[in-house]
Structure 1
Amino acid sequence: MPVSAPATNPSPSTVTSLRVRSGRTIELVLTVLALVIVTLAYVNVELAVRGEVPPNLWRHLGILAGAALALHVVLRWRARYADPLLLPVATLLNGLGLVMIHRIDLGTGGGSVASRQLLWTGLAVAAAAGTLLLVRDHRVLKRWTYLAMALGFVLLLLPMLPVIGREVNGSRLWISIGGMSLQPGELAKIALTVFFAGYLVATRDALSLVGRRVLGLQLPRARDLGPILVAWMLSVMVLVLQRDLGSSLLFFGLFVAMLYVATERTSWIVIGLSLFVGGAVLAWRLFDHVQRRVTLWLDPFAPDQSDQVAKGLMGLAHGGIFGTGLGEGFPYITYFANSDYIVASFGEELGMVGLFAMLMLYALLVERGMRTAIGAREGFGKLLAAGLSFTLALQVFVIVGGITRVIPLTGLTTPFLSAGGSSLLANWIIVALLLRISDHARRPVSERRQEQARDTTTRTKEVG
């Protein structure tokens, strides 16, 4: 019987590696689909309110379409392996926000809020493209850890300055420069996230391994409690000086979440929640504006107080399960319907089904950000992606929870939906950073080595 030839292992040179798909074609298709949905929603609003398709439809939607497609081209050029779902989801949310803001403008007898938001959309997407072009490697941000901390503190304190600081509706969150108003706290959350990621990467061993075990929890050393106490005092400072309960919760919750991701120690969550509960109770006992928020939360229909929460709840009830239809409800009756209460506006006209669909878009956005954090090959990228994703998640929870009375109402904006240029600018930059980190995480090793070789050659020539 013939003896078969022994099996031989293929040489390494003959092994073909799997080709990683960039996902840019899928991204383009989904982005176009998002633009089609926004166009149909815009036409639906116009038909319901005015009974005709506006002749300037393409001029209004052309900025959004041009900006989104231009960012897609930048991704093909500079980040071809970036996550293919982040851009379409952000485009759809941004576009639906523009539609609802326009609808509320029509309900209030005209206005230019939608036009300003459209202009801010173009600027925000341009800022996202600029972030992708300037930040070729997210790891370079780690060099600026403490500069990011200083920048974050400066941005938080800017509204307290006597000349440029502005107080709106009892909260001092705004600055006015050259007739243009900005909310620097929106950008501060990005700077502080970069600082937290850089700091925790450098110190997580001490924070996670050292300490004594008490009642099943491994408690940190007293000197390691310093960072979380500083973050707690910073959040209290924002609450006291600026009367901003939402931002205070956001900053402190962000740091505690990143601390847990970095160390995987449950004790940090326990300590963080204890500090938050203690601070919340103290603020409720000392500050009138916090007491008013709690009273509205417990009884929104009580006399002699603001009826904003009550009107928002009645709008949600009017929408029911399937909504009144775009352009068929009365969302503009609620105060700040295009900013703080835009979720209630969508709930009235799209109903519970439509509102749940929008929450699923946010869940998908956060899930892709967390997937990026898991796929990142180094600690700084993991923490930065997780922190940016948690920022979006916590902000959505705080505003939706306040409108639906899960928690007391705060003054945060809904990412991509609410009217406001500062929020739109900050959230598009967050998407750009997540795209950059995901590109680095999904890029094949061979291409990364080639790029590193090219960068080394370039630096050598510059030095020479």
Structure 2
Amino acid sequence: MSSHRSLNPSRHEAVAERILLVIAGLFVVVNLAALNILRGVGSQDWTPILVWIAAAAGGHLVLERRLPNHDPLLFPLVMMLSGFGIAVIDRLAPVFADRQAAWLLLSTAALVFSAAWPTVLRLLRDYRYLLFFGGLGLLLASFVFGVNPSGQPGAPTLWLGAFGLYFQPAEILKIVLVAFLASYLAEQFPLLSSARANRALEGSFLSPRLIGPVLLMWGICLLVLIWQRDLGAALVFFLVFLLLLYAASGRLLVLVAGGVLIVAAGVLAYSTFPVVTQRVDIWIDPWSRAEGSAYQIVQSLIAVSAGGAFGQGIGQGSPAYVPVVHSDAVYAAVAEEWGLLGAAFIVLMLLVLVARGLRVGIRLTDRPFSALLSTGLTLVIGVQSLLILGGVMRLIPLTGITLPFVSYGGSSLLVSFVMVGVLLRLSAEDPYAI
């Protein structure tokens, strides 16, 4: 039956993906066209619409031909989210819209390549140390050659680049670290399974031989990120590592110990890093600092409340009052102009994306590396989304990370699309293959 499926792709899935892309396209075209109409004849820019249509159509056609059994929801979801993002960026910072559209085209090509490339999974599994140290080397290079595209004095220099093109090594490290953890834990999976089934072997789970290399590699990354003051990325890495280790071991002790470490690290960071102290103080009481350090979060909350249930309408709100709104606080702009419905729709799409990614891992439980890789990549998207959404809504302190697929940022968009490309590749695997 599995061989029959691989030779005869389901036409229903292809049609479903096509219909979802058409719906996404209608949304993107209508919103971007409305913006152009509001601007008038002299200021219209149709490039983002044309680029989005080309990326969606081209990506769908290549995936349908080269990877016919892939999950039919993943690609439409990321195209809808990225289309939403381009519409918001074009509204808030038109000068960045064409640049984001170019990154979308490149990101879609990277997604298709990572999904259709037959050896991508073998590369991630067999060359984990080479990829890890390569990614770590890029991260360390940012200490010497790092820049900040904004040019603001004192701003973190987390980017590498030249000739006007920049990327964050921490973004690349997301894929590399997840692949390393998945590959290593998959090799130790027989021992992990035995410890899970036999209480007498539970102590072997904590043996230095088993968990030592993982802790060492993860610890190096975490220390470098903290040293670099990229605390948002450090928190994402910590939570993903914790949840992936729990997924591999099934040990509740992992979550309990991780929770204790998070609290302890939070207290230490609050007393050690001024940026953490400031963000926690702003989170606790933003209103007393509304004209100073808490200006961004206060304006974000005002924008969210101004949107109401149905929003002000595209081009009708005032989200530009929120600093760095096209990147850090893009969700506040969505809530103001598209209202609670638009904001909830973003959350719903992200939830479905995470659910489909975890579903891929569940289907591949007999193949530990594939299962852990799909789970880890999905957790990166889910954890990052949760942290930024919670920060904008003042449920947790702001972390300074971007909303996947929606916020402005080329390297973030590219890496997010590559992760979904790998998920598409995994979703097309036959779980019953030997």
TM-score by length of 1: 0.84
Which one of the candidate residues 170, 191, 207 is aligned to 1:185?
Answer: 170
Q: Counterpart of 1:30 in structure 2: which amino acid?
A: L
The range that moved more, 177-186 or 130-139, is 130-139
Cα displacement string for residues 151-177 of structure 1 (whole angstroms, at most 9, x for unaligned residues) = 23223323212x344486632311132
Gaps of 5+ in 1: 1-11, 106-110, 450-464
Separation (CA, whole Å) in 2 of partners of 1:218 and 1:60? 56
Partner of 1:279: 265
C-alpha separation between the residues in 2 aligned to 1:189 and 1:404? 25
Task: Note the C-alpha offset of 1:226.
Answer: 2.7
Matched, 1:261 2:243: no
Partner of residue 206, structure 2? 221
| SS of corresponding position for 2:255 | helix
1:400 counterpart residue number? 389
- Residue 436 (structure 1) aligns with: 425
1:220 positional shift: 4.1
- How far residue 425 of structure 1 moved from its aligned partner, in angstroms, is 0.4
| SS at 1:176 equivalent | strand
> Which structure has the highest helix share of the two?
2
Residue deviations 1:172-197 (CA, integer Å, cap 9, x gap): 31113233221121111011111110
CA change 1:398–1:218 in 2 (3 A) is farther
Q: Deviation string for 1:374-433 (max 9, x for gaps)?
A: 112511110000001111000100100111111110111111111110011001101110
Q: Distance in 2 between matches of 1:221 and 1:116?
A: 48
State which drifts further: 416-425 or 269-278.
269-278
Identify which range, 19-28 or 241-250, moves more after superposition: 19-28
Match status 1:101 vs 2:111: no
Work out whether residues 158 and 165 of structure 1, in 8 Å CA contact, stay in contact via their aligned partners in 2: no
> Secondary structure in 2 aligned to 1:171?
coil
- Contact kept, 8 Å, 2:354 with 2:378, in 1: the verdict is yes
Summarize deviations over 1:242-275 as a string: whole Å, max 9, x none: 1122101111111111111111111111122222
Q: Which amino acid aligns with 2:254?
A: W
Conserved 8 A contact 2:222-2:238: no
Q: Is the 8 A contact 1:231 1:255 kept in 2?
A: no
1:462 match: none
Matched, 1:329 2:324: no
Q: How many residues align?
A: 422
Residue identity opposite 1:131 in structure 2: S
Q: Residue 343 of structure 1 aligns to which amino acid in structure 2?
A: Y
Which range is displaced more, 273-282 or 94-103? 273-282
Q: Which residue of 2 aligns with 1:27?
A: 17
Q: 1:360 to 1:266 in 2, by over 3 A?
A: same
Distance 1:356 1:227, change over 3 A: farther
* Distance apart, 1:136 and its partner CA: 4.5
User: In structure 1, the residue corresponding to 2:242 is in which secondary structure?
Assistant: helix
Match in the other structure for 1:146: 129
Q: Alignment partner for residue 293 of structure 2, among 305, 318, 331?
A: 305
* Structure 2 partner of 1:170: 155
Percent identity reads 34
| CA gap 1:52/1:422 in 2 versus in 1, 3 angstroms | same
Deviations 1:100-134 (A, max 9, x none): 101113xxxxx420011011111111111222343
CA, structure 1 residues 137+164, in 2 after alignment: closer, same or farther (shift >3 Å)?
closer
1:288 positional shift: 0.8
Is 1:36 matched up with 2:26? yes
Flag the 1:272–1:155 CA change in 2: closer, same or farther, 3 A.
farther
- Taking the TM superposition and a 5 Å limit, the aligned residue runs for 1:64-143 are 64-105=52-93, 111-136=94-119, 138-143=121-126
Superposition pairs of residues 336-375 of structure 1, within 5 angstroms: 336-375=324-363
Query: Which of 235, 240, 250 is the matching residue for 2:226?
Result: 240
- Looking at CA atoms only, which structure, 1 or 2, has the larger radius of gyration? 1
Contact 1:366 1:389 in 2 (8 A): yes
CA change 1:17–1:157 in 2 (3 A) is: closer
Q: 1:430 to 1:160 in 2, by over 3 A?
A: same
Aligned to 1:383: 372
Are residue 417 (structure 1) and residue 406 (structure 2) matched? yes
- The answer to whether the 8 Å contact 1:385/1:434 transfers is yes
Q: Which runs of 5+ in 2 are unaligned?
A: none
Equivalent position of 1:457 in the other structure: none
